[in-house]
Structure 1
Amino acid sequence: MKKVITALVLLATIAHTNAQSELTGEDDFGSWFMYFGTNKIADKWSIHTEAQFRYYQMASNFNQLLLRTGANYHINNNAIATLGYGFIETDPTFLEFDTLGDDVLFENNSISEHRIFEQFILKNKVWEFKFEHRYRLEQRFVQNNYTGVSNTLHRARYRIQMTLPLTDIFFLNFYDEIFINLQNNAFGQNRAYAALGVNVTEDLSMQFGYLKNHFTGVNYDRLQIGLFYNTDLSKMFKKQE
């Protein structure tokens, strides 16, 4: 009898785990398509531009749109301070519609967020390895578009990144980033990333990578394709003068 009960408990646990995975999309290999730009406008100043499109599945089942910009002050070649703003639109449900009660469905289950962030980057090099330490504080103004409830949240992030050039064209890129909530439940998430990078031109590069995104109790696997375009607009401004 004990064996039967044990087997039933095990089956119930497996069924619950599978149900949770189906609701969250944990078993699906998702994708992030990203653009990052750093546009130099003066000797010490540049503009950060960024757009990300995130999906629960491979280029389908929308999860999140992220648009971000900021002003960078280059203290020196190895230190950058940034003040920026981001807009984020998130569909938190893996399913196309969420369910409320028995048969009630609603479409507008998105979460809108306006975000202000302060950031400091330090760079250093050890042999051929290029390291980057990114420290970021975020003030997040979040609204649930279904319930209308708004919230203000604060978060700290730290990312350590390592880049290893393989040739003049190819390089490897790795990072790990931890998110700390500055209110209850301190741990937010952790992201571990590995990618192959390609220098297309002097100003343009691409990365093809894999991200493991860990939250408490759930993990997501994501393909990442990133486009990085860094331009020097200050030369154009000087010509116009």
Structure 2
Amino acid sequence: MIKKLILILVVLLAINTQLNAQETGEDNLGSWAMFFGNARLTERISISPEIQYRTYEVGSNFNQLLIRNGFNWHINEKATATLGYGYISTDGTFEEPNGEENTIEHRLYGQFVVKNSLWKIKSVHRYRFEQRFIDSPTNGNDTQYRVRYLLRLTYPINDDWYVSAYDEIFINLEEPIFGQNRLYGAVGYNWTKNIRSEFGYLKNHFTGRNFDRLQLGVWYSLDFRKAD
């Protein structure tokens, strides 16, 4: 009798887990299309516009649109401080009911980036603080704060190809403390001195949820100091 009850509980738990995964889209491979720009205006100042389009499935089922821009102060060649703003529209559910409204977020952020090299390996440490003004159709208006730390390592295969990996952790300044963790690996190609792209895989972990995402990113840089 006890064995039968345990078996029934295990089956029910498995069914519940499967249904939850279907509702949140965890069983689906999603995608992030990303553009990162950088325009160096002077020796000390640059701007960095960014657009990301994220989907629950590869190329379909909208999840999030992120538009962000930062104003950067280059302390030296290895250290940069940034103040910026982001607009984020998020569909928080995998399913698409009629009349669904997105959550809108206005985000202010400050960050500090340090670059280092060890042998051929280049490292980037990014420390970011975010103040988030969130307007949710279900939970109303809310203001939240969090910090993020990213460590990125890049290894050049030759002048054109390289491999890169990063891990980033998100810590909320309110409950729950753990926000998410992103683990990423990619292959990149330098098309020109100013343009490069990466194709990679991201494991996005939340408490009790994990999402797998393919990423295609393009980086484009301009330097207007030559016109000074």
Tell me the TM-score normalized by structure 1.
0.93
Correspondence for 1:211: 202
Correspondence for 1:167: 158
Assess if the C-alpha contact under 8 Å between 1:92 and 1:109 holds in 2.
no
Correspondence for 2:223: 232
Tell me by how many angstroms 1:107 deviates.
1.8
Correspondence for 2:182: 191
Please give the per-residue CA displacement for 1:215-235, whole angstroms capped at 9, x wherever unaligned.
000000000000000111233
Correspondence for 1:102: none
Correspondence for 1:2: 2
Tell me by how many angstroms 1:147 deviates.
3.7
The correspondence for 2:118, drawn from 105, 126, 129, is: 126
Tell me by how many angstroms 1:70 deviates.
1.0
Correspondence for 1:178: 169
- The equivalences for 1:28-177 within 5 A come to 28-97=28-97, 107-144=99-136, 146-147=137-138, 149-177=140-168
Assess if the C-alpha contact under 8 Å between 1:34 and 1:227 holds in 2.
yes
State the one-letter code of the partner of 1:193: Y
Q: How many residues align?
A: 228
Please give the per-residue CA displacement for 1:141-199, whole angstroms capped at 9, x wherever unaligned.
0001x247100000100000000000000000100000000111110000000000000
Q: Secondary structure at the match of 2:220?
A: strand
- Runs (4+) of structure 1 exceeding 4 A deviation are none
Tell me by how many angstroms 1:3 deviates.
2.2
State the one-letter code of the partner of 1:181: N
Tell me the TM-score normalized by structure 2.
0.98
Q: Distance in 2 between matches of 1:159 and 1:70?
A: 17
5+ residue gaps, structure 2, are none
Q: Distance in 2 between matches of 1:107 and 1:30?
A: 23
5+ residue gaps, structure 1, are 98-105
